[in-house]
């Protein structure tokens, strides 16, 4: 049963310099218990697309899609009231900066309790019990005392666990994690990512992990979507993606990883920079920087082609012979 269906999601912002397309034609399908990772560098639109799904973008954003369905509900035509019943309860999200995502004026217990009260209508006693359960579930020691703690008294790792507790409080069907471990120390990062994967298994929910850390993707995800300059350029299963990336951007990105060039004097780089608002190339957005680009690449815009191994947006995807390239 398909949990999330997105077809041709686009987001445009009104800015000083005119209209800017932050997300351009994203297709996504998720079933329950899927673990998808959306990967990309700054400006790729990975966060914006999920914020658009949640309805969390500012008023300057214009969200359009052919299809945006969650658990059978059409999120495009839904009223704000109905949407508020779903967001936070069936779909929830955790963010990158745990220290600034929690309200500094209220205790941890209050903030988790807020979600419970709003969506599940629990009374005070039930809320307290459930909060303690949740804090225990996310691995916070001495949960009864932590309920009274304020966010500034918690470390980065603890704050992120509290965020996760808030997010899973109502047993959501889909959890979106936007760079959940980037701002944390490396040993805490590992703990948080492990926690998310464990919770996903236990609760049977779908997890979308947005990150720019390829190592995390390789170790955790099952499906991967690669984004570049707002467009979805590749989608494959994780092992296939790392072994045989089809899109030249994915290929170049993997080559630029420090660990893949240990035997080289210099790191391979991708020449040029990501196109900004003012300098979008004609044709394929990656073509100016692509080592495999050909003449037709900067004339026409490639569309996203779906095949049985995945999807890619390229006129000349990399081919692999039987023994690999």
Partner 1 sequence: MSFAIEGRDLKRYYDVKGEGFFAKPVTLKAVDGASFALESGKTLAIVGESGCGKSTLARLATMIEKPTAGNIFISGDDPHANGGADIPRLRQDVQIIFQNPYGSLNPRKKVGTILEEPVVINRKVSAAERRQLAETMLAKVGLRPEHYDRYPHMFSGGQRQRIAIARALMLKPKVLIADEPVSALDISIQAQVLNILMDLQEEMDLALVFISHDLSVVRRIADQIMVMYLGKVVEQGEAKTIFDNPSHPYTQALLGATPAVDPKLRRERVKLTGELPSPLNPPPGCAFHNRCRFARAECSVTAPPLEMKFGRLVACHFAEVTVKA
Partner 2 sequence: MSNGTIDAVTAETPRPSMLRQNLKEFWFYFSESKTAVIGLAFLVGIILMALTADIIAPHDPAVQYRECLEQPPTWGADKCNFIFGTDYAGRDMLSRIIFGTRLSLVAGGMVVILCLSIGIVFGVVAGYFRGWVDIAIMRIMDTILSVPGLLMALVLVAILGPGLLNAMIAISITYLPHFVRLTRSSYITESSKEYVIASRVSGAGKFRIMFITILPNCMAPLIVQATLSFSTAILDTAALGFLGMGAQPPAPEWGTLIAENRDLMLSAPWTVTFPGLAILLAVLAINLMGDGLRDALDPKMKRS
Binding site for partner 2 (CB under 8 A): 13, 15-17, 20, 60, 252, 255-256, 266-273, 275-279, 288, 291
- Which of 260-299 are b and which e, b meaning 16 or more Cβ less than 10 Å from the residue's Cβ? eeeeeeeeeebeeebbeeeeebebbbbbbbbebbeeebbe
- 60-64 contact pairs (CB < 8 A, 24+): 60/13, 60/14, 60/15, 61/11, 61/12, 61/13, 61/22, 62/11, 62/12, 62/13, 62/14, 63/9, 63/10, 63/11, 64/8, 64/9, 64/10, 64/11, 64/12
Q: Name which of partner 1, partner 2, none residue 54 binds, using a CB cut-off of 5 to 8 Å depending on partner kind.
A: none
The region of 67-75, 90-98, 258-266, 294-302 touching partner 1 under the rule CB under 8 A is 258-266
- Near partner 1 by CB under 8 A: residue from 147, 209, 221, 270: 270
**Min separation Cβ 188 and partner 1, Å:** 8
Q: What angle do CA 32, 34, 40 make, to 5 degrees?
A: 135
State how far the Cα of 293 lies from the Cα of 137, in Å rounded to an integer: 50
Of the residues 191, 244, 304, 316, which one makes contact with partner 1 according to CB under 8 A: 191
**From 30-38, 95-103, 105-113, 254-262, span contacting partner 1 (CB under 8 A):** 254-262
164, interface contact from partner 1, partner 2, none, CB < 5-8 Å by kind: none
* CA-wise closest residue to 173 among 119, 221, 213: 119
Binding mask 122-151 for partner 1 (x = CB under 8 A): -------------------x----------
Is 1 an interacting residue with respect to partner 1 (CB under 8 A)?
A: no
Query: Is position 185 an interface residue for partner 1 (rule: CB under 8 A)?
Result: yes
Binding range to partner 1, per CB under 8 A, among 6-14, 47-55, 122-130, 191-199:
191-199
Largest CA distance in the chain: 68
φ, ψ of residue 23 to 5 degrees: the values are -135, 135
Residue 277 binding result from partner 2, partner 1, none, given CB thresholds of 5 to 8 Å by partner type? partner 2
Residues that bind partner 1 in the complex, under the rule CB under 8 A: 41-42, 141, 155-158, 185-191, 193-194, 212-219, 242, 252-254, 256-262, 266-270, 273
């Amino acid at each position: 049963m398909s949990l999330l269906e997105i077809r041709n999601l686009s987001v445009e912002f009104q800015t000083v310099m005119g209209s800017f397309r932050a997300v351009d034609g994203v297709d996504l399908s998720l079933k329950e218990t899927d673990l998808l990772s959306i990967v990309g560098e700054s400006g790729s639109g990975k966060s914006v697309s999920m914020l658009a799904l949640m309805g969390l973008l500012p008023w300057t954003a214009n969200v359009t899609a052919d299809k945006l369905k969650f658990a059978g509900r059409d999120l495009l035509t839904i009223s704000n009231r109905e949407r508020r019943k779903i967001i936070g309860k069936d779909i929830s999200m955790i963010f990158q900066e745990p220290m600034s995502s929690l309200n500094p004026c209220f205790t941890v217990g209050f903030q988790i309790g807020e979600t419970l009260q709003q969506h599940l209508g629990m009374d005070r006693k039930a809320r307290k019990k459930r909060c303690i359960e949740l804090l225990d579930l996310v691995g916070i020691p001495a949960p009864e005392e932590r309920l009274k703690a304020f966010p500034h008294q918690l470390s980065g790792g603890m704050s992120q666990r509290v965020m996760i507790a808030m997010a899973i409080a109502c047993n959501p069907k889909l959890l979106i994690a936007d760079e959940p471990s980037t701002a944390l120390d490396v040993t805490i990062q590992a703990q948080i990512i492990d926690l998310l994967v464990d919770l996903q298994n236990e609760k049977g929910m779908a997890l979308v992990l947005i990150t720019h850390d390829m190592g995390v993707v390789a170790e955790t995800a099952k499906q991967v979507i690669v984004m570049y300059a707002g467009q979805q350029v590749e989608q494959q299963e994780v092992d296939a993606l790392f072994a045989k990336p089809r899109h030249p951007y994915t290929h170049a990105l993997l080559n630029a990883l420090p660990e893949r060039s240990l035997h080289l004097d210099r790191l391979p780089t991708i020449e040029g920079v990501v196109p900004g608002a003012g300098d979008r190339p004609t044709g394929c957005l990656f073509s100016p920087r692509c080592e495999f680009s050909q003449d037709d690449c900067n004339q026409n815009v490639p569309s996203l082609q779906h095949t049985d191994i995945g999807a890619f947006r390229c006129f000349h995807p990399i081919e692999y012979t039987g023994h690999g390239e």
